[in-house]
Amino acid sequence: MDEIYTNIMVFSNSKGKFHKSCYKKHRLPNCYVCKEKIPSNAQGIEYNEHPFWLEKYCPSHDTDGTAKCCSCERLKPIETKYVMLGDGRWLCLECLESTIMDTDECQVLHIEIREFFEGLNMKIENEFPLLLVEKEALNRTKEYETIDNHHEVVIRGSCLSEERIISIVSRAPKMGPNGIFIDMGTESQMLVRQCEVTAVLVMYGLPRLLTGSILAHEMMHAWLRLNGYNDLKTELEDGLCQVIAHMWLESQTCNADASSHKPTKATNQPWESNFEKKLVELFKMQIEDDYSPHGDGFRKVNEMVSNSSIQETLKSVRNSKSVIDDAYRINTCTRRTFTRKMFYLRFSNSAKSFNFVITQQVRFFSRDPFPNKLQHYLYRATLIDSIRLSLRSTTTSATTLASLLNHRLVDSFVVKNALRSSPSIASAWSIFKTTLRLKNPNFTYESETLHAFATVLAKFHCSSELSSLIGVINAGKFGNVRFSFMNLMNLYATAGDFDSVLKTWDEYRCSGDEKKGCTESYNIVMQVYMSLGKDSEAVQTFDLMVNEGGIPNSRTFTIMIEHLVSLGNLDAAMKVFETLPLMRITRTLKHYSVLVGAFVDAQRFGEVKVLLAEMKADGKFPSRRMLEPLKRMREAGFEQETEEFLSEMLPDERIKDISMYSMDNPSDSEEEGDEHNDDVNEGQVKLKPWLDPKALANSLKKWSSDAVTALEEANFVWTNLLVCKMLRNFRSPETAWSFFCWVATQPGFTHDAYTIERMMAMLARNGQVELVDKLISKVRIEGINLPFSTIRLIIDLYGISKKPDAAIKVFHEDRTLCGSISHFNLMLLYSSLLRTLTKCKKNAEALENLEEMISSSVFPDIQTFSGLMYHFALQGDIQTVQRLFSTVRQIGLEPDPYMLKLLVQAYCRCERSVLAFRVYQDMKDLNLMPDKETKELLVRSLWREEKRKEAAVVENSDEEANGGNSVLRLVLKGHVWTISSTDISRVYSLYRDCVLKTPS
């Protein structure tokens, strides 16, 4: 924060002189605080002015005890009411309106910040508590931040990694006499280490926007720790965290009309004014103008992110393993256009000599001779193709390979992709040994390249060589490179070393990295047991996943379907597949491929036709695995049903084979290669050009005329599949839109429903409503039928970008673009709309659309009701929760265990523990015992409300009785709106019964 500006005025101006009395009356400013004329002194008129609010006041008010708001920093004007928190902090009434006072109230914001990270492709998988605490609890931590223009050291947030007992704010204080909050509820909580982060602490009593920016900052600390960024310099780590906080505030600026607000007590409606928009700008300015280490780190990291993206910046930071200046240099030296900026920064901000600066500049030109990143990508692709051809040719020698690998442009990217393209284990060993022997100064083995080599060893089932490589890595041969437990489990599983998989899993579960293990670890173990023929162990692993809090994902059900198909239970596999939409699980190409292949083998072509129709509705490209089954289906007489899919799967004849060419003169190589192809002998290698859509998209981050020219000269063959992959990998919606429009003009290419869906998804995620509407209008004019999944995806993504009105418009006006919608799909579409509206805090609209849904005889499923109840419970609207629960009964739905748990939680948070106890008794009567977390919450609430008898009943109940493990855990927020206890129990029972009844 800049220091307060001091201004000195004189008793004259350009129009002449004043009498002192006239000057004081007409020209002296009034004090914002005391409303009097600011007095003069020997130097003239001296006053202080806040750099943001621009309010002038007497300097004496800084030291005379005048109250100052701890959030917006404004001094308390005379005859204006401020309120005091229990720790002596003051709040103005405007900031008080959106203040978050206790831990439960902050959970909605916690979920929103997690969704913000997910929108940045930085999803935080681990669960850890967010706790609001008093100032005293934070004073024991090390996370300092400046909160006003005096740079007073005040602690506002902390990311903890150690176990400890801490006092949290469990109940919001009440307003007492003289504007002082009293009677705040606190309780002690033991923080248990379940991952690298035990908890995030935030100071209570701050407005939502300030709490959110602090939380975003601390969540970034958590993300860095959970993703292995453990040795960063303090300035760099704080800079990254401040950039994320700033980005979150920016998102609130873009979505000001849809941002969440605390309802006022007077109207119970969302409180909206321009004041919160001003708060956003204030908090952004605090970050930007801070001259503490936080601010220095922010400015440097923000420059890096501005020149690339947050993902590229993090990648550069991980690779540099050094101080912020090294990461800054790595990021900014990727393009020739940044040379002058780099020169200026090094010369003006460093004490190093001018000769050092010139040396660095010359080194930059020698390493990056390309005018843009696209041409760098193309040159590296040429080099990779040369290595691929060398590995496959019988006429090239080891000298040729060594020459290619010693090229000055060989780096980790080239070696990694060359290893992945190895046709045999011998060729992979050749690359590995040659690079070690040559010791190319531009290349060192890092985590990605070593993992690529290990993957090749695993793919060719070289278990002993893989174990040797892992041993060498663990011994420190390659510096600090280490493989994670998940890396090792995947590698051993691919290699077929199942004993090592199970051994590593046991080590993983005992390591403390996760509470029990992530979902993918259970998936791998399920697949291992399936491969070993240990059917009951595979079923038990799925059961273990659910009961230990794992959230089954698409791959979990891929393994389940494969297992059922391998045992010949095709009908059971199909039932599992049909249940996936109910659980909001995305049906993947692997699901379709496994089932299509199985039903074609069984000559049950009716089911295949149904699967193909649903695959088209889901907007899925057919995979290569389907090619042979669909050919057999066509041979069986189903030409019309398979023609469209087969035409998209056959190789594109426009893509020519590559041939060997010189790296020294690549510009002439393509034409010479085409001429030479006419005379090639039969033994020459034929190979399609190497292409990485992700790397190609990253090279086009800065869309410019030079990049477009280079792209056109590259003569890529643009297929719909390639364009879809490109659009998926763009990080900037502006760049993606520029590419989308450009590629539409390329010869031989026409956008279809798949590419349009990809573009719409990115635009909707980033809140580009006008461009989405433009595309929808084009689709309507062209008569293109969009997949149902496209409309639903747009509505879901408008929830992330906080565009509720746009979601409502798409639902009501544009859903006809996907043709006739089944009753079930319409229910899913309504559910997506309701979820989006609650994310955007449009409570009235959500309830209105729920009524419309029910009146149309489209009844919500139990997950939709659970999501709505959870949302309103977190907001303290217990009446709406009760009304929703009554509606469940009225439409004939039976509340599932998870919904009942949510109801217990809702009553406890609203201090209605007696009602929560009644629900608890109902659960016991239904042979459903809540899990440990629910019981503990209920007991605490009952004790707090002095219901000792009821608390003793709950404490003394047997938590393991009556199948308590069948109830989903409350800590797993991902189950809200998605999986119901009924659905997961039905799938589990089907899987268990079919597998265990099938003879081995």
Lowest-pLDDT range of 396-410, 653-667, 809-823: 653-667
pLDDT at 419: 93
In this structure, the strands spanning 56-57 and 174-175 are: unpaired
pLDDT over 80 at 328, yes or no: no
Distance, CA of 31 to chain centre? 48
pLDDT at 191: 63
Contacts of 761 (CB under 8 A, 6+ apart): 790, 793, 794, 797
Tokens of 509: 């579960």
pLDDT (mean) for 451-474: 92
What pLDDT, on a 0 to 100 scale, did the predictor assign at position 659? 46
- Per 3-state DSSP, the chain is made up of helix, strand and coil in percentages (nearest 5) of 60, 10, 30
The pLDDT value given to residue 141: 57
Structure tokens at 396: 């090239």
The distance in angstroms from the start CA to the end CA of the chain is 71
Decide: helix, strand or coil at residue 962: helix
Cα–Cα nearest to 186, from 203, 166, 212: 166
What lies within 8 Å, CB to CB, of 737 at 6+ separation is 759, 763, 768, 771
866-917: pLDDT as tens digits? 889 888 877 778 889 889 988 998 898 888 777 888 788 778 877 788 888 9
Tokens of 199: 């908890």
Structural contact between residues 959 and 967, judged by C-beta atoms closer than 8 angstroms: no
pLDDT band at residue 369, thresholds of 50, 70 and 90? low
CA angle 753, 758, 761 (to 5 degrees): 115
Q: 165: which strand partners?
A: 190
In 732-842, which ranges are continuous DSSP H helix? 733-743, 753-765, 769-782, 788-800, 804-809, 823-839
Q: Does residue 12 register a pLDDT over 50?
A: no
Are the beta carbons of 793 and 764 closer than 8 angstroms? yes
Burial string for 341-363 (b: 16+ CB within 10 Å, else e) reads: ebeebbeeeeeeeeeebeebbee
The full set of domains in the chain, from first to last, is 10-84 (no CATH), 98-145+152-253+273-323 (no CATH), 861-956 (1.25.40.10)
Residue 986's pLDDT band (cuts 50, 70, 90)? confident
pTM of the model: 0.63
The whole-angstrom separation of Cα 314 and Cα 305 is 9
pLDDT tens-place string over residues 471-503? 999 888 888 888 888 899 999 999 999 999 999
Which range is least confidently modeled, 913-922, 956-965, 971-980? 956-965
For 376-398, the pLDDT digits (tens) are: 899 889 899 889 888 887 766 67
Which residues fall within 8 angstroms of residue 431, CB to CB, at 6 or more apart? 387, 391, 401, 405, 415, 418, 419, 422, 453
Max mean pLDDT range (144-153, 650-659, 979-988)? 979-988
> What is residue 258's predicted lDDT score, i.e. its pLDDT?
43
What pLDDT does residue 140 have? 61
The mean-pLDDT minimum among 116-120, 357-361, 364-368, 521-525 falls in 357-361
